[in-house]
């Protein structure tokens, strides 16, 4: 919130928006609120407002990139504001086409802000400059490398490649939907921020509802008004230490591992809207949020509130709400012995024991009660990826010692290559000083650009998980890290190159999802490469 005016004290603010003079009431709110509210610009996204940390709301102010959620509307009086629609059309279209051709946009929520920032750079700028520029942004899906490749492809000297080169976007959508776990679009509309996210399609006059902090909802005529009424306080990053809440069970273990709570960190916060008696909009418009929105409270709240108020209601969670209310990857503490037996303790989570047993039936699973945020087995490979990691670590550590029985789902080569065979996908992963090396058989690739993009994104999430990701939780179970930058997501400059070899042709086998297997295999390869340190994250 940026309001320092008294109630009822309003003036108007005039500025130029995408070359057109506009006037809005100054109610003390942010430029983002003005753009998405009365001015109806929905390409500017809200991923963390008013934290100013995700970059999704980036615009140009007098030609310089700024995050609009921390820019008071009154500060742009008499100035020029440029969104995606107002960029130089030629440069925007070249960049957007390059993003599509490189698979540099998946859910598409972060992409408009990134395009705006990149469009302000010298088109001949080197990759290091682009990596620095991307430090102001977060992307959870793509793993950054495809964005850098898109930048390279959009250089003035590059030979343009376009989807007209024979690529089928129908097949691309099919691959994206398989990987995303639900209907997912691929095309220029996604790149340009028109993926029909729930909060973008809500009626302009809908009542806005936000969590009240006590399990209920507060409403207002605008998002800023509702958040003021809820007493929203901007979340902070804590200085409290991370906790690993479970002890490793006693035993003569070859390797052990402890993890903490991990935030799924999807960029599009939960949102929905509904009219009285209607069907609520899905918070999963163009991506599965890595399984974390399966039980989102937004749709049911939108429906109930619309019926209660007799008008359209738009429900929007702030980033702090998502951290407090949304499910986390459950912490584990585990040990595995030289004979391959082991015990994996995990925070009690419905369905997690079955997920682990499907991959590692030899591990005894003990669910333990720990005060903490909600956890979910629906989150990407929850539980079973940890089992893959343990099996790989044990096989690697056994090395020349007593053999750990080979497991059909996981195999480790002497050079640290981890092979994972799960749900029909076969993935080999190795992490070295050059980067991540992947060999992926996911049956019919359908569209190699999209399959590769999901593999790179999964590799990024895996490296990020092992090295950096976790949130602090106090002993009462309350999350303390409430800002999107405190989750530990690896930045563009920290993401190594990813080499993806796709095997299996059109007629090889039906298409299956590869992303989760890549995630598990890269996490295991990274851990093995680090020498199997006993606590994650390893780098903070």
Interacting residue ranges for ligand FES, rule: CB under 6 A: 105-111, 139-142, 267
Closest by CA to 50, choosing from 228, 304, 229, is 228
CB 277 within 8 Å of CB 230: no
Angstrom distance (rounded) from CA 80 to CA 63: 8
CB 423 within 8 Å of CB 416: no
Distance of CA 64 to the CA centre of its chain: 26
In this complex, which beta carbon is closest to ligand FES, that of residue 36 or of residue 140?
Answer: 140
In this complex, which beta carbon is closest to ligand FES, that of residue 114 or of residue 334?
Answer: 114
Nearest approach in angstroms of CB 54 to ligand FES is 9
Long-range contact pairs involving 304-310 (C-beta distance under 8 Å, separation at least 24): 305/207, 305/209, 305/217, 305/219, 305/274, 306/273, 306/274, 306/275, 306/276, 306/277, 306/278, 306/280, 307/276, 307/277, 309/207, 309/219, 309/276, 310/276
In this complex, which beta carbon is closest to ligand FES, that of residue 273 or of residue 454?
Answer: 454
Angstrom distance (rounded) from CA 367 to CA 359: 17
Nearest approach in angstroms of CB 142 to ligand FES is 5
Give the CA-trace dihedral at 390, 392, 395, 397, to 10 degrees.
-70
In this complex, which beta carbon is closest to ligand FES, that of residue 110 or of residue 512?
Answer: 110
The b/e string for 475-509 (b: 16+ C-beta within 10 A; e otherwise) is: eeeebbbbbbebbbbbbbebbbebebebebeeeee
In this complex, which beta carbon is closest to ligand FES, that of residue 174 or of residue 268?
Answer: 268
Angstrom distance (rounded) from CA 273 to CA 300: 9
Helix (H) or strand (E) holding 498: strand 497-503
Q: Are strands 207-211 and 313-316 parallel, antiparallel or unpaired?
A: parallel
Q: Which residues contact 8 (CB under 8 A, 6 or more apart)?
A: none
In this complex, which beta carbon is closest to ligand FES, that of residue 225 or of residue 263?
Answer: 263
Nearest approach in angstroms of CB 438 to ligand FES is 19
Nearest approach in angstroms of CB 92 to ligand FES is 17
Nearest approach in angstroms of CB 493 to ligand FES is 16
In this complex, which beta carbon is closest to ligand FES, that of residue 143 or of residue 245?
Answer: 143
Nearest approach in angstroms of CB 109 to ligand FES is 5
Count helices and strands in the chain by DSSP H and E runs: 15, 18
DSSP 298-327: HHHHHHHHHHHHTS-EEEE--HHHHHHHS-
Nearest approach in angstroms of CB 531 to ligand FES is 32
As to burial, measured by CB atoms within 10 angstroms (0-12 exposed, 13-18 middle, 19+ buried), residue 418 is: buried
Task: Return the ∠ at Cα 473 (arms to 536 and 466), rounded to 5°.
Answer: 15
Nearest approach in angstroms of CB 104 to ligand FES is 8
Q: Which residues contact 132 (CB under 8 A, 6 or more apart)?
A: 493
Nearest approach in angstroms of CB 375 to ligand FES is 22
In this complex, which beta carbon is closest to ligand FES, that of residue 58 or of residue 260?
Answer: 58
> How many angstroms separate the Cα of 77 from the Cα of each of 10, 25, 427?
14, 11, 54
Nearest approach in angstroms of CB 78 to ligand FES is 33
In this complex, which beta carbon is closest to ligand FES, that of residue 175 or of residue 243?
Answer: 175
- Measured in degrees and rounded to the nearest 5, phi and psi for residue 23 equal -135, 130
In this complex, which beta carbon is closest to ligand FES, that of residue 292 or of residue 356?
Answer: 292
In this complex, which beta carbon is closest to ligand FES, that of residue 133 or of residue 420?
Answer: 133
In this complex, which beta carbon is closest to ligand FES, that of residue 27 or of residue 270?
Answer: 270
Closest by CA to 156, choosing from 180, 187, 123, 116, is 123
């Amino acid at each position: 919130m940026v309001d320092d005016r008294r109630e009822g004290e309003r003036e108007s603010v005039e500025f130029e928006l995408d070359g057109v003079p506009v006037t809005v009431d100054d109610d003390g709110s942010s430029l983002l609120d003005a753009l998405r509210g009365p001015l109806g610009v929905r390409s500017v996204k809200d991923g963390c407002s008013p934290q100013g940390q995700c970059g999704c709301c980036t615009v140009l102010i007098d030609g310089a990139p700024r995050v609009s959620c921390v820019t008071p509307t009154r500060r742009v009086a008499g100035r020029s504001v440029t969104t995606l629609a107002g960029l130089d059309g030629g440069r925007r279209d070249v960049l957007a086409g390059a993003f599509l051709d490189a698979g540099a946009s998946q859910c598409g929520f972060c992409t408009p802000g990134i395009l705006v920032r990149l469009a302000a750079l010298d088109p001949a700028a080197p990759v290091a400059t682009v990596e620095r520029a991307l430090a102001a942004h977060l992307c959870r899906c793509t793993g950054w490398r495809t964005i850098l490749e898109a930048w390279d492809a959009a250089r003035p000297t590059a030979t343009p490649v376009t989807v007209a080169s024979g690529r089928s976007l129908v097949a691309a959508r099919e691959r994206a939907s398989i990987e995303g776990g639900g209907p997912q679009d691929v095309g220029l509309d996604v790149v340009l921020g028109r993926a029909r996210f729930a909060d973008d399609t809500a009626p302009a006059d809908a009542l806005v509802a936000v969590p009240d902090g006590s399990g209920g909802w507060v409403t207002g005529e605008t998002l800023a008004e509702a958040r003021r009424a809820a007493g929203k306080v901007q979340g902070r990053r804590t200085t409290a230490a991370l906790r690993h809440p479970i002890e490793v069970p006693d035993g003569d273990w070859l390797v052990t591992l402890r993890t903490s709570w991990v935030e799924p960190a999807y960029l599009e916060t939960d949102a929905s809207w509904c009219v009285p008696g209607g069907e609520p909009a899905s918070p999963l418009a163009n991506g599965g949020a890595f399984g974390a929105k399966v039980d989102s409270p937004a749709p049911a709240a939108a429906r109930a509130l619309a019926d209660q108020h007799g008008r359209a209601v738009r429900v929007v969670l702030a980033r702090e709400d998502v951290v407090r209310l949304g499910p986390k990857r459950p912490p584990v503490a585990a040990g595995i012995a030289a004979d391959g037996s082991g015990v994996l303790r995990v925070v009690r989570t419905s369905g997690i024991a079955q997920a682990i047993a499907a991959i590692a039936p030899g591990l005894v699973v003990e669910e333990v009660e720990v005060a903490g945020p909600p956890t979910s087995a629906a989150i990407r490979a929850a539980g079973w990826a940890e089992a893959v990691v343990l099996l790989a670590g044990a096989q690697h550590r056994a090395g020349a010692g007593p053999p750990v029985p080979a497991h059909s789902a996981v195999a480790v080569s002497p050079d640290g290559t981890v092979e994972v065979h799960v749900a029909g996908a076969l993935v080999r992963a190795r992490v070295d000083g050059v980067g991540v090396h992947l060999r992926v058989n996911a049956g019919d690739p359908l569209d190699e650009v999209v399959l590769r993009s999901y593999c790179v994104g999964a590799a990024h999430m895996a490296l990020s998980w092992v090295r950096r990701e976790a949130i602090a939780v106090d002993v009462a179970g309350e999350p303390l890290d409430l800002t999107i930058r405190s989750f530990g997501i690896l930045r563009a400059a920290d993401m190594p190159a990813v080499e993806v070899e796709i095997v299996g042709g059109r007629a090889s086998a039906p298409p299956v999802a590869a992303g989760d297997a890549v995630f598990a295999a890269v996490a295991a390869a990274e851990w093995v490469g680090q020498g199997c340190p006993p606590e994650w994250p390893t780098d903070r």
